[in-house]
Structure 1
Amino acid sequence: MERRLYIDGKWSEGSGDTALAVINPATGEELAKVPQATVADIDDAVLAARRAFDEGPWGRTTPAERAAVLRRFSDLLAARRSEIVDLTIAEAGAPRKLAQTLQVQSGLDHLKDMADRVLATFPFSRPMPPTFGAGIGQGVVLREAAGVVAAITPFNYPFFTNMSKVAPVLAAGCTIVLKPSPYTPLAALLIAEVAEQAEIPAGVLNVVSGDIAAGERLTTHAGVDVVTFTGSDAVGAKIMAQAAPGIKKVVLELGGKSANILLDDADLDRAIPHAALGFTRHSGQGCACLTRVLVHRSRYDETVERLSGALAGLKVGDPDDPATDMGPLIREAQRERVERYVRIGQEEGARLVHGGGRPVGLDAGFFHEPTLFADVRNSMRIAQEEIFGPVGVVIPFDDDTEAVAVANDSDFGLSGAIWAADPKRAFAVAQQVRTGMLVLNGGGGGTNPHGPFGGYKRSGIGREFGEAGLEEYLETKAVLWGVR
C-alpha cells in the first residue's frame, strides 16, 4: 500500500526531509516510515480541497450522485476488510476481535449507512410555511455543503475515527484534508488509496501525515471552513482557540470519565463482564470507556470481588492472537502516564485491588495490567481525570439520587451505562444523567451508526453518526420569494 502524502489526487513524498516512524506497540519495532508534512504541504492540500470545492464538480453533485460514489467507495473498502484489520492490529495494537468489529466493521457500517440510508432520506430542501402580511411570501430552506473541512483524528481507533469524519464530510458535498495521528497514519493512507480507486475527484479527499505543527497550520488556515477533531479535551480547547480568529465552525469529540451505574437490583452475572470490558477494551484507550463503576453500597463488596476476578481472567498479550482480550498501550509515554496515575491513586488512599503494573513475560511492547481501585471517593483524581488506560475505579452510592449526583459530578459527559432489573427505573435514571449516550442493561452491544454520538460539557461540541453527523458539515440557507 501507499505510504506517501495524498494531495490533489497525487501521491507525494512531500517537500520536507523528515519522516515519521510508525511503531508496532506490541513489539516496539518499526512498521513503516511516512513523510512528515511541512507547512507548504498543508497549504497545498488546503488549496487542492478549496479548488475542488469552489471550482470542481463535487460541491454541486446531487445527494443521489454522491451516494453512488460512496457506495462504490464502501464496496472497495469492504473488499479490503481483512487488510484493514491486520493494519489496525499492527499500528494501533488493537486485539484481533476488537479490530474486526468496533475498529473496522463499525467504520464500514458508518460509511454504508451514509450512502444507503442517510443520503436517501435527509431533507436537503424543505418548504417554509407561507406568510401573510403586506403580501404573500413563500420560501424554501436549503441545506448546503459547508466547504473545506480540516479533520484531525486520534491513534486509538484509526480506521473508525477516520471514517467518522470522511463519511459525513463527503456525503455533505464538502472536501476534506485529513490529518491522522502521527502514531497511526497508515489507515488514513489506505483510505486515500481506495478513494483513488473509487474515482473520487482529485482534491476532494487529501491525506497528510504530520505532527502538532501540521495540525496547527490546518486549524488556523484561512482556506478551511470547518475543523473537526477527536482527542483530548485539553487539545480540543487549544483547537477552539486556534480556530476562533477565523470564526471557523468546530466539531469536537473529546474525552470522558463515564459512569457505569449498577443499581441495587442489577443482574451482576451480566453486569460484571460488561463492567470489566468497559474500562479494559483496547487497554482503556477510548473516550467512551466506562472507567467509573458506581455500585449500590449493599452490593459493593461483592461487585469489587467479582470484578477483580473478571479482570484476572482476561488474556493480556499479542493482539494478533484471536484469544487476546487486551493488547498494549500505544507508546511508552502512555504506559508511564498510566503508571503515574496508579501511584496517584495509592497516594490518595484508594485501595489497589488488582493489577497496577506491567504483565510478567511481556517485556517487548507497551503492555500494562488491567487495574482496579476500590474505596474510591469521586473527588479523587483517579475518579475525575481521564487516564486513557485500563484503570477502573469502584465508587459506592446509597440510592438512585446519589448515583445520579455522583455520575454528574464530572467535567465530562460522553457515555455511560445503567443496570437495573426494572427497565423503567433504568430509563428514569438515564434521563437525569448529563451525558451524550447511555446504554441500558447492555444495550445493543456497540455503537449504532444511525444514532448521534457526542458529549456534554468538556466531552465536546457537535455529534457524529447518522443524520446528526451529516448536519455538522452543512450550512442552512433560506430562499424567499413573493407570490403575486
Structure 2
Amino acid sequence: MEHQLYIDGRWVPATGGRTLPVVNPATEQVIAEVANAGAADVDRAVAAARQAFDTGPWGRTTPAERAVVLRRFRDRLVERKQEITDLVIAEVGTPVFLANGLQVQAALEHLSDMVDRVLTTYSFSRPLPPSVGAPGRASLGQGVVVQEPAGVVAALTPFNYPFLVAISKLGPSLAAGCTVVLKPAPTTPLTALLLAEVAAEVGFPPGVLNILPSDDTDAGQRLSSHPGVDVVTFTGSVPVGGAILGQAAPTIKRVVLELGGKNADIVLDDADVERAVEHFAYSFVRNSGQGCGCMSRLVIHESLHDEAVERLTALVSSFKVGDPRDAATDLGPMISEAQRARVEEYVRIGVSEGANLVHGGGRPADLDVGYYVNPAIFTEVKRTMRIAREEIFGPVAVVIPVGDDDEAVAVANDTDFGLNGALWSGDPARGFAVARRVRTGQIALNGGGGGISPQAPYGGYKLSGIGREFGEAGLAEYLETKAILWGVAAG
C-alpha cells in the first residue's frame, strides 16, 4: 500500500523526505516506513482543502449527491474489511475478535448510518413564518434557516481505535460538505493511508480528503492553529486537548474534543452480580484498557462486594494475554514500551497508596517479546487515591464499596471526567432514576443495547470533552447555521 502523504488527490513525499517507522507492538518489529509530515506539509494540505472547499464542487453538492460518493466509499471499505482488520491488528495489537468487531465493523456501521439514514432525513433547511412588523402593522417578510458546511476540518485521531475514530470524524464532516485534513497518531497511520487509497478509488475531488502521518509537534500545532482551518476535531488526552483549545483560540475556531474518562460501573444492591461483573471485566481489559470509554471503577454495594471481587478475580485470571492474531487471545500488547511503563508505574502507585493488589499487574512470564502486561485488580481503594482518580489508559481496575444509592452517585461523580458509565439494578425504574443523576455523556443500564449505537451521541461532561460524535449530533458539529430573510419587493 502507499506510504506517502496524500495531498490534493496525489501521493507525495514529506518535505525533506522525512519518514516515520511503524512498530508492531506484539513483535516490536518495524512493519512499515511512512512519510512524516512537517509544518510545510500541513500548509500544503490546508491550502488544498481550502481551495477544494472555496472553489471546488464538494461544498456545493446536495446531501443526496454527497451520499452517492460516500456510499461508494463505504462499499469499497466493506470490500477491504479483512485488510483493514489485519492492519489494525498489526499496528495497534488489538485481538482479532475486537479488531473485527469494535475496531472495524462498528466503524462501518456508523458510516452506513450517516450515509443511509442521517443524510436522507436531516433537515438542512426550515422555513420561517412571516415576522411581526412595527406595532399595528403586519409584515409580509419571511425567510428560511439553512445549515451549510462549516469549511475546512482538521481531524486529529488517536492510536487506540485509529479506524473507528477516523470514520467517526470523516463520516459526518464529509457528509456535511466539509473538506478534511486528517492527521492520524504517529504510531498507527496505516489504516488512515488505506482511507486515502479508497478515497482516490471512489472519486473524491482533489483536496477533499488529505492524510498527513506525522510525529512532528510543530506540524500538529500548525494544523490546529492554521488560519485556513475552520473546525478542529480531536480525540486523545486532556493535556493535548487543552493545548489544542489554546492553539485554536486566536482564530476562534470551532473545536470538538473527545478526551479522557475514569468511568464508573455502578452495581446496586438488587443487581445481577454475575452479569455486572462479567460486563465490567471485559470492559476494563478491552483493547488492553486503552480506551477512554473503558470501565475502570467498579462502584458496588457493600453487601455484594466480596462476591463480586471473587467472581472478578476468577474471570480475569482466565483471560489469555498474548498474540493478537490468535482467536483465543483476550488481551494483546500495550501500544508501546512507554505505555506499558506507565501502567506498571500506576500499579506501584496503587500499592504505595495502600490499596490491595489482588490480581496481576506484572508482565506475563511466557512473553519475552511484545509490550504485554497482566491486568491488575485493586481492592481497599479510597476514592482519593490516584488510581481511583487518574486515567491510567491500561488494564487496571479498582473496586470501591458503597453503602447506598446516594453514595454510589457521589463516588461515580467524584471525578474530573464524565464520558461513559454503566449501572446495574434489578428494578429498571430505580436504575433509570440513578442513571439520570450520574454526570456522564453516556451510561448503559443493565448492559444497554449490547454495543455502540450509531444513533446515540457520544461525548463527555467536564474534562471528557466538548461536543458530540455519531448520528445527527455528530453531523451538526460540522455545520454552520444561516438565516436568510426576505420581504416583498417595492412597487
TM bracket, shorter-chain basis: over 0.9
Cα distance between partner residues in 2 of 1:328 and 1:265: 36
Q: CA deviation at 1:130?
A: 2.2
Q: Out of 175, 192, 197, which is 1:193 matched to?
A: 197
Partner of 1:228: 233
Among 377, 384, 392, which residue is 1:372 paired with?
377
Q: How many pairs were matched up? A: 484
Q: Secondary structure at the match of 2:16?
A: coil
Q: Is the 8 A contact 1:138 1:483 kept in 2?
A: no
2:129 alignment partner, SS class: strand
Match status 1:49 vs 2:49 = yes
Counterpart check, 1:121 vs 2:121:
yes
TM-superposed CA distance for 1:133, in Å, is: 2.0
- Cα distance in 1, alignment partners of residues 292 and 470 from structure 2: 16
SS of the equivalent of 1:136 reads: coil
* 2:180 counterpart SS class: strand
- Counterpart position of 1:476: 481
Q: What is the DSSP-based 3-state SS (H/G/I as helix, E as strand, rest coil) of the residue aligned with 1:357?
A: coil
Instruction: Report how far residue 101 of structure 1 moved.
Output: 0.5
Measure how far apart 1:115 and its partner are: 0.8
Q: Match of 1:159?
A: 163
Distance 1:240 1:178 in 2: 18
Match of 1:392?
Answer: 397
Displaced runs of 4 or more, over 4 A: none
Give the residue type in structure 2 aligned to 1:388. F
Q: Distance in 2 between the 1:251 and 1:184 partners?
A: 21
Q: 1:416-455 to 2 correspondence within 5 Å?
A: 416-455=421-460
In the alignment, does 2:216 pair up with 1:214? no
Amino acid at match of 1:257: K
> Shift of residue 297 of structure 1?
0.6
Q: Supply the AA of the counterpart residue of 1:14.
A: A
**Matched residue SS, 1:403:** helix
5+ long unaligned stretches in structure 2: none
Structure 1 SS opposite 2:141: strand
How big is the shift at 1:234?
A: 1.1
Deviation sequence 1:174-214 (CA, Å, 0-9, x none): 00000000000000000010011010111000000112221
Question: Is 1:240 aligned to 2:211, yes or no?
Answer: no
Q: Distance between the aligned counterparts of 2:393 and 2:16, measured in 1?
A: 33
Is contact 2:273–2:304 with CA below 8 Å preserved after alignment? no
What letter matches 2:86 in structure 1?
Answer: D
Where 1:266 maps in the other structure, the secondary structure is: coil
1:284 to 2:309 alignment: no
Post-superposition CA distance 1:64-110 (Å, at most 9, x none): 00011100000000000000000000000000000000000111111
Q: Does the 8 Å contact 1:74/1:108 carry over to 2?
A: yes
The equivalent residue for 1:178 is 182
> What TM-score does the superposition give when structure 1 sets the normalisation length?
0.99
Moved more, 456-465 or 268-277: 268-277
- Determine the structure 2 residue equivalent to 1:35: 35
**What is the deviation of 1:301?**
1.2
The equivalences for 1:248-397 within 5 A come to 248-397=253-402
Structure 1 Cα separation of the partners of residues 145 and 12 of structure 2: 41
Deviation of 1:29 after TM superposition, in Å, equals 0.5
Q: Which 10-residue stretch deviates more, 247-256 or 135-144?
A: 135-144
State the distance in 1 between where 2:234 and 2:282 align.
26
1:77-156 matches, within 5 Å, as 77-134=77-134, 135-156=139-160
- One-letter identity of the residue aligned with 1:154: P
* Distance of 2:380 and 2:477 partners within structure 1: 42
The C-alpha deviation readout for 1:349-389, integer Å capped at 9, x for no partner, is 10001001101111111000011000101111001000000
Which amino acid is 1:15 matched to? T
The answer as to whether partners of 1:27 and 1:365 remain within 8 angstroms in 2 is yes
Q: Secondary structure at the match of 1:163?
A: helix
Q: For residues 350 and 45 of structure 1, what CA distance do their matches in structure 2 show?
A: 50
Q: CA RMSD in A?
A: 0.8
Q: Spell out, residue by residue over 1:315-352, the C-alpha distance to the aligned partner (whole angstroms, 9 max, x if none).
A: 11000001111100000000000001001101111000
Instruction: Measure the CA separation in 1 of the matches of 2:410 and 2:278.
Output: 25
Quick check: 2:274–2:311 contact (8 Å CA) kept in 1? no
Q: Which amino acid aligns with 1:387?
A: I
Letter in 2 for 1:97: F
TM-score with structure 2 setting the length: 0.98
Residue 13 of structure 1 and its aligned partner are, at CA, apart by 1.4
Q: Is the 8 A contact 1:280 1:326 kept in 2?
A: yes
CA–CA distance in 2 between the matches of 1:270 and 1:256? Answer: 23
Q: CA deviation at 1:466?
A: 0.4
Could you tell which deviates more after superposition, 35-44 or 200-209? 35-44
Hey, what's the Cα distance between the residues in 1 that align with 2:206 and 2:161? 26
| In 2: Cα distance, 1:343 partner to 1:269 partner | 29
Structure-1 separation of matches of 2:223 and 2:327? 39
Q: Secondary structure at the match of 1:480?
A: strand
**Contact 2:48 2:207 survives alignment (8 Å):** yes
- Following superposition, the deviation at residue 137 of structure 1 comes to 2.3
**AA matched with 1:416:** G
- More displaced stretch, 14-23 vs 418-427: 14-23
For residues 131 and 239 of structure 1, the distance between their equivalents in structure 2, rounded to whole angstroms, comes to 41
Amino acid at match of 1:256: G
CA contact (8 A) 1:147 1:224 kept: yes
